[in-house]
Structure 1
Amino acid sequence: MNIETKQQHVETTMRLAPVIPVVIIDDARYAVPMARALVAGGIPAIEVTLRTPAALDAIRAIAAEVEGAVVGVGTVLSARDLHAAEQAGARFAVSPGVSPGLLDAADNSALPLLPGVATAGEAMTLLERGYRHLKFFPAVPAGGAKLLGAWASPLPQLRFCPTGGISLTSAPDFLALPNVLCVGGSWLTPSDKLKSGDWTGIEQLAREAVLLKGVMA
């Protein structure tokens, strides 16, 4: 699969819903009911971050058992991460930044990558490598919606998924930008709801997030 085909897959995933949940999961037993709640609420794309030992098992379970879910892997830092996630059944990968080694590994992997950038220079470097769909991270500390909006004119080829410090309240500021297709957010799967098994509450958060489509450019 070449870079253009993989970028098309990334774009399709980004357009599934206004928000991609960024999930930190401590117990893989929560994965399937959590994912089913998100899908029922209208949020099919789910990023499970490699920040806990349970992450790969969670991805494996969602990929195997949750119809309608498009499960991806986040916090990808290396070729080993890409390979492990692909073996677990992930359908896309997200990185907080980029390195030459990670980009080389992505070239040799079938897993589509949504790489992270924080500066215009990083975005230009990735554009040279064929990437048109990027993660803007950490969105709020790096400059927020004003900075990302300022990139729209000089970098019209690029589309972004801003992630980092975004909430239901601030998401509309980003989604209204012409160069934003979706946002990433951890507020859809808060740790207290995961630990208490409040799947109805997570489904409701997903339904609220879907309504953000009305503010999109």
Structure 2
Amino acid sequence: MSDTKAPDASRRSERSRRAIYDAALALVTESGYTRTTIEGIAARAGVGKQTIYRWWPSKSAVLLDAFLDLAARAHEALGGDSGSEIPDTGDLAADLRFVLRATVDELNDPTYDGPTRALAAEGLVDPELGARFVERLLEPQLQYYVRRIEAAQAAGDVDPAVDPRIALELLVGPLNHRWQHRTLPLTHAYADTLVDYVLRGIAPRS
């Protein structure tokens, strides 16, 4: 008797899902959001477009899930997971430099740059997509900063009157502005300078 096992449907589905994610990210990087289509993603991934519509209602939903998966894999590659916090070594400056430098590297990587720009731009004209992008990706990442700054306040390293949300925006706002508008190169030195300037402003008052 043959002991050949039936194909694993879940494994096949996962391969298809991964191919769809890779195709969506590649196409939006190469052609932009507007020119990327469900048909194009399906053709690139080697699946039928009905497979995509069975899992996602729209192109934007595909791209958002693909980007969330990409971000999760990036965290895993760093030895953590998609829910990892900003390190707390007791040295707030070092911890913030670490995470801002990693953000600089990510924004300068074409693998992330294209999809991030596409999602950010489309989120401005599609409020629903923009809200989902903020809720599922941006806001959880910003909360890492909030918790790290709150920990620094508890340790006496940050003025207790400082609003952690505003403090984090002083860090990530300029970084995002320089990346979005390409005004000047995005570098580790720039990230370090932002940390130095911000920490002077939120330091405890004597």
Q: What band does the TM-score fall into relative to the shorter chain?
A: under 0.3
TM-score (norm 2): 0.27
Is the strand fraction higher in 1 or 2?
Answer: 1
Is the helix fraction higher in 1 or 2?
Answer: 2
Greater C-alpha Rg: 2
TM-score (norm 1): 0.26
